[in-house]
Amino acid sequence: MKSAFTLFWFFLCAFPALVLGAQPPIPGPPELPVKGYVLIDFNSGKTLAEMNADERLEPASLTKIMTAYTVFRELAGGKIQLTDQVLISEKSWRTGGSKMFVEVGKQVSVEDLLKGMIIQSGNDAAVALAEHVAGSVESFADLMNAHAKRLGMTASHFTNPNGLPDPDLYTTARDMARVTLALIAEFPQYYAWYKSLDFTYNKITQPNRNPLLKRDPTADGVKTGYTKAAGYCLIGSAKRDDMRLVSVVMGSASPNARAEASLALLNYGFRFYESHVLYPVGQPIETLRAWGGNLEKLPVGPGSTVAAIIPRGTYDQLSAHIEKTSDFRAPIASGAQVGDVVVMQGDDEIMRVPLVALEELAQGNLWQQARDSVLQLF
């Protein structure tokens, strides 16, 4: 028979978990039969699970994510238009692999070529877009690599727009996640095409090759890829409530294996984590006393979006505060860092984002400067 002390000690140890609802630890991510994978929260950019995420691998048609991103940047810069008519070259027409079935000598709009590449995975469409944007596949590859460098894709190199095998064409699961996150964030109007179930061109209707669109109603992208050397690859994305996850699976043994692996990662992330945007970039979160300037109160806010990915059920443990670098004395440029936004989970600091001035604090007139000098003495 247990002593009263033993029972008391058991109750004392169990009390925090029973009464305070202590969360069990998050289990390890699923073990998947692939060459490499990564799972990332869109809001915060945090990695939730990974395996060989930085190993150099062949991307196959995942390359077309970078191709689309490069074309979208050209559209955003006004250098090309969706309505541009692209003359189909023999090089584009002869490109092997998956096809949109463009015809040599015909003119096709940039919008149709993008949809043919995104939805039908047309290698011919990718070449036509590359030639229209940069004049040649080689010059377009230079653009791709410039964008990859800017995005921090340090382990990637692109030599063509469609992912057909080339010894100098390589990437990593993490790098492919980077460009996918950028594409979704910068071009939501075009990203909507990735959830289209089919596309018809030249009286030929072809289905979207992404199996997640039919297996998960919350999935809305992104891209499949396959070559014999690369294996079966899939970038998936799904949004449930306000939480979006991006998964990259590379080197699966079959189409079904890559779909199952992608679903396993997405379900793992949604099951055990929750994502919250605490403060959007540029949102005023406080106005602070400014000295010697043309303003008495200076609005400040985060220099980048403050988003937290936390174990599910622990939102009430979050708190945030600001830490100023010094008193606010003019002049201060708009966008200048004046401190940090610090996010805590319980007693642990989990994030620190620059706090910036949201307006310019110009030098005040002589009266304002003199007044503030006197006020600061008190």
Q: Which residues are catalytic?
A: 61, 64, 121
Strand, helix or coil for residue 223: strand
> Chain-centre distance of CA 154, in angstroms?
16
| DSSP E strand boundaries for the chain | 36-41, 47-51, 85-87, 107-109, 198-201, 204-207, 219-227, 231-240, 243-252, 273-279, 286-291, 297-302, 306-311, 318-324, 328-329, 337-345, 348-357
Which residue positions form the known binding site?
A: 223
Amino acid at 306: V
Strand, helix or coil for residue 370: helix
Strand, helix or coil for residue 181: helix
CA quadruple 261, 266, 267, 271: dihedral sign:
positive
Which residue positions form the known binding site for substrate?
A: 223
The span from the CA of 239 to the CA of 134, in Å, is 34
**Contact by Cβ (8 Å): 320, 360:** no
